[in-house]
Amino acid sequence: MTTYVLVPGACHGGWCFDRLTGQLRAEGHRVLPLTLTGLSERQHLLHAGVNLETHIEDLVRFLETERVERAVLVGHSYGGMVLTGAADRRPELVDALVYLDAFVPESGESCWTLTDDRQREWYLSVGETGYAVPPLPFFDPRASAHPLASLLQTIRLDGDLSRFRRRDYVYAKVWDGGSPFEPTHRKLRDDPQWNVHELDSKHDLMRDAPDELLRILLAAG
């Protein structure tokens, strides 16, 4: 049995993994989806001080509370920032990392520095609060505003990802106007320490490429 911990992207909650959670559990695995502070059913906790550090701490505490050992951490989009930070902080709890069309930061980087101008424009479209990035119109109705500070704050890492048994990157090839993750994909695709998968899918891999994604996660475990 493998323990999978699933971390959603911006504006989403653990519910975005519902189908994947069910599929993995049907295979006999332990699956723990997480909703980060200030998002979805936890949106009542959103305030100007919620940042990347808050979300990394969310995941670290979650791993500890659930008594997770040798986890496969799975992060979608922004979730890649969170799982990288948590894995760096508690590497003894982590076995493998899977990034789903996600950011893979090095120390000193942020979503802001890693993304493109179109995404930066979205980040700055905060409403009257000045700190809440609204969900995009095509997102699931359950999506909620995302804390701007988490997208701007740089990550601080003490080690690198080579200490983990396996690292997978799943790249979604279908983006209108080009993928903000193309530079990350280009950097990793020829690295022998990474398993890079290219799927003919839009960014929401859980919805648009469920069968391929399931196979990748089962292999990672």
| Residues involved in catalysis | 77
Check: CB of residue 33 under 8 Å from CB of residue 17: yes
Please state, as a whole number, how many other Cβ atoms lie within 10 Å of the Cβ of residue 145: 19
| Token digits of residue 23 | 């599929």
CA angle 45/118/140 to nearest 5° reads 45
Helix (H, G, I), strand (E, B) or coil at 132: strand
| Token digits of residue 18 | 């519902």
- DSSP string for residues in 96-113: EEEEES---PPTT--HHH
d(CA 93, CA 50): 25
Check: CB of residue 77 under 8 Å from CB of residue 190: no
d(CA 74, CA 169): 10
